[in-house]
Amino acid sequence: MSVEPVTAKDYEARICRAQLQLTKTEIEEISEMLLYEELSRARIRDLEEGVRAQRARGSARAVRRWTRVARWATRRAERYEDQLS
């Protein structure tokens, strides 16, 4: 009686072959799970795009606000200088 040594690679190949024989129901379940996963990723991408757009609008709003504040501060400084003269 002879015994052949079994390597880890041979063992994994044998196990993987056995695991690849999925039933139709298991394949459908996996496909459905992947579909839901892809849908959730798409929703996350949409939310991230919305947040990016909102930040862009917010930064533009901040620029306008600080421009108004700077103009107000300039006018106030000019009035103060006129009062001193």
Helix then strand then coil, in percent of the chain rounded to 5, is 85, 0, 15
Residue 58: what pLDDT?
Answer: 84
Q: Which amino acid is at 84?
A: L
Query: In the 3-class helix/strand/coil scheme, how is the chain assigned residue by residue?
Result: CCCCCCCHHHHHHHHHHHHCCCCHHHHHHHHHHHHHHHHHHHHHHHHHHHHHHHHHHHHHHHHHHHHHHHHHHHHHHHHHHHHHC
Q: What is the pLDDT of residues 10-26, one digit of tens each?
A: 767 666 555 556 677 77
Q: What is the pLDDT of residues 25-57, one digit of tens each?
A: 777 777 888 888 999 999 999 999 999 988 888
